[in-house]
Structure 1
Amino acid sequence: MISEALPSRLRVAVVGVGGVGGYFGGRLAQAGHEVTFVARGATLAALQTQGLRVFSALGDFTVQPARATDDPGHVGEVDAVLVAVKAGQIPHVAHTLNPLLGPGTAVLPMQNGVEAADQLAAALGEAFVLGGLCRIISAIEAPGVIRHSGGHPSVTFGEFSGQRSDRVQRLQQAFEAAGVTVDLPTDIRVAIWEKALFVSSLGAVAAVARATIGELRALPETRALIERAMQEVATVAHARGVPLPGNAVAAALAFVDALPAAGTTSLQRDIEAGRPSELDAQLGAIVRLGREAGVPTPVYDFAWRCLLPQERRAQPLSG
């Protein structure tokens, strides 16, 4: 399913036009690639009438007109699909992506968590799916309007086989030409779990404590809790055959120390606002995978159970 030569101008479908899909899809469109945004509701209407607007310290821009539809069947086969919906939406979205797939299509998940690629592969077939993640601080300011507020935007992806395939190299070239930093790790599984170790552990403690990153890392009790949560993820990863480096926890803690003190996590913000969150993808997944591997995850289990009632209350809002 890997093409020998993808065209220099890629056909790309972006599924989910929030802070991630809007920014990275917008940059690819700005660079001259044929990008179609798959959206719905107010976002779709805004894209079709005013285009996509992105505000960023790296340069504001507008994609106008923006190709946009609510039906992947209207797009046809593409070279790459950027799946940028929230992690909990992937099982519902995955089966709608078949019309986008051709012999060499690369499906690139960009979510937090460790299960996105497996869920997409189960629905679409392993040959189509890359492992992937992104790093950016961005959000929807209004329908069709994205605000990039921090962090240098980057994407990390690769074949699970480790092969530096043609489709991976073409995506690398496309992103880099659009001003996005690209990392092609030797083992994409390690990169995915390293990000989960950092993001979900900090998110778990922050969402329960309702405190800023600066408060959490300065208080010995909560700092120790973050470190214990990170160690749980590392232990689950190793039990599942993912060779995280020995300094993974120390490196993640150092990254926490470098974050703005007033910052909060996306999981914390969603739960505090009563919005559907990535609780299941970020915390529930570690609990489930730990049970499967026979690894106890007491910090994750406690945080997941404490936050579950609020998540259940928020779910009707997603309909």
Structure 2
Amino acid sequence: MRYVIVGAGAVGGAIGGRLAQSGREVALVARGAHLDALRTDGLSLVTPQGTERLRIPAYAHHEDLGPLRRDDVLILAVKSQDTEAVLRDWSAAAVAGGGTAGEVLPVVCAQNGVANEGTALRWFAEVVGMCVWLPATHLQPGTVVAHCAPLSGILTLGGFTSTADGVTGQLAEDLDASRFHAPVVPDVMRWKYGKLLNNLGNALEALVGRDGMPDAADLWQRTRGEGVAVLDAAGIPYSTEEERQAVQGDRMGVVPMPDVVRAGGSTWQSLTRGGGVEVDFLNGEIAMLGRLHGVPTPTNDLLRREVARLAAEGLPPGSTDAAELRSLLAEAEPNL
């Protein structure tokens, strides 16, 4: 198998780098200054075990690879707002021996949120879900930091389509040999909905900054509480924090590294880089389900709106504080 990492940022770069370190064949797909750095100097993968510069083939587009191979596995690690455009494009790519990528190749959704697998199924016949627990940072072109040890992360896998079972097993074996734990489960979306509840805090962290999170504990409880109420009303099952901790055990934990400052989460990093944010598919997912099932979600609505404002205005993370958010929330609630 060759693993084609479509979106070689923090998560994609860490997965691709670890697979390459274990001898698996990998191709990275990136853009802009990051792509230039990957092509010129290779991927600098920084982990608690040390820093290694990996010479992994890097491309801008599937056309650069030529016809895709029949043993290719596409690992999609772009942000959710880019999923549809990327998959529409890649699904039409020619595959050696006949057919298109959408017809004959599997795609693995290594992404936050719960909308990607359904979107992928519009374009690909074989879809694998991946619930990603992988604290990683990508702020500097050509460099990805994976912060945990002894394993870099837990990547729970499951076929979103019944045809994906074969590739899921092989992928799990390769990830398990690459400093990950990759359990295969029959209900991967239940795990991804559980992860969604945790990811609702990404927006809050981006707004108040990591240092402001202790003062925003009440807002975090409201945010997650709305998410739980919405999923319960919708009858959507989700994994619990106790289940997650049981799987994690002592397999992974954040390890301080000399001269490495751990940045914020994915939304914090997106604002720092000045790119788009996926808040519409995290807090926005809860807001959408709340409207469908008659559950008010004022806190998630506010966080989605404020993060989108920061991104549109080019403002950095930490541009507001908990007191300001409470004030905005108080203004909105009389209208509910």
Q: Give a deviation string over 1:264-291, Cα, whole Å, max 9, x none.
A: 4432454467543222222222212322
After superposing on structure 2, the runs of 4+ consecutive aligned residues of structure 1 that deviate more than 4 Å are: 161-164, 249-253, 272-275
Distance 2:31 2:210 in 1: 34
The residue number in structure 2 matching 1:306 is 306
One-letter amino acid of the structure 2 residue matched with residue 309 of structure 1: R
Listed as ranges, the matches of 1:1-319 within 5 Å are 10-64=1-55, 66-75=56-65, 76-77=68-69, 78-98=71-91, 99=93, 101=101, 105-122=105-122, 124-125=123-124, 127-150=125-148, 152-160=152-160, 165-200=165-200, 202-212=201-211, 216-217=213-214, 219=215, 222-244=216-238, 248=240, 264-271=264-271, 274-314=274-314
Contact 1:79 1:102 in 2 (8 A): no
How far the C-alpha of 1:166 sits from its partner, in A, is: 1.6
One-letter amino acid of the structure 2 residue matched with residue 207 of structure 1: A
Contact 2:6 2:30 in 1 (8 A): yes
One-letter amino acid of the structure 1 residue matched with residue 228 of structure 2: A
Gaps of 5+ in 1: 1-9
Distance 1:43 1:16 in 2: 10
Paired residue secondary structure (1:143): coil
Distance 2:159 2:32 in 1: 34
The residue number in structure 1 matching 2:259 is none
Paired residue secondary structure (1:154): strand
The residue number in structure 2 matching 1:6 is none
How far the C-alpha of 1:187 sits from its partner, in A, is: 0.9
Contact 1:11 1:35 in 2 (8 A): yes
Distance 1:38 1:164 in 2: 23
Paired residue secondary structure (1:276): coil
**Identity between Structure 1 and Structure 2 (%):** 27
Root mean square deviation, CA, Å: 3.1
C-alpha spacing 1:59/1:232, structure 2 compared with 1 (3 Å):
same
How far the C-alpha of 1:174 sits from its partner, in A, is: 0.8
TM-score by length of 1: 0.79
How far the C-alpha of 1:102 sits from its partner, in A, is: 6.8
C-alpha spacing 1:207/1:272, structure 2 compared with 1 (3 Å):
same
Q: Could you tell which deviates more after superposition, 22-31 or 235-244?
A: 235-244
Gaps of 5+ in 2: 96-100, 256-261, 316-336
One-letter amino acid of the structure 1 residue matched with residue 213 of structure 2: L
Distance 1:159 1:216 in 2: 36
One-letter amino acid of the structure 2 residue matched with residue 130 of structure 1: V
Contact 2:113 2:196 in 1 (8 A): yes
TM-score by length of 2: 0.75
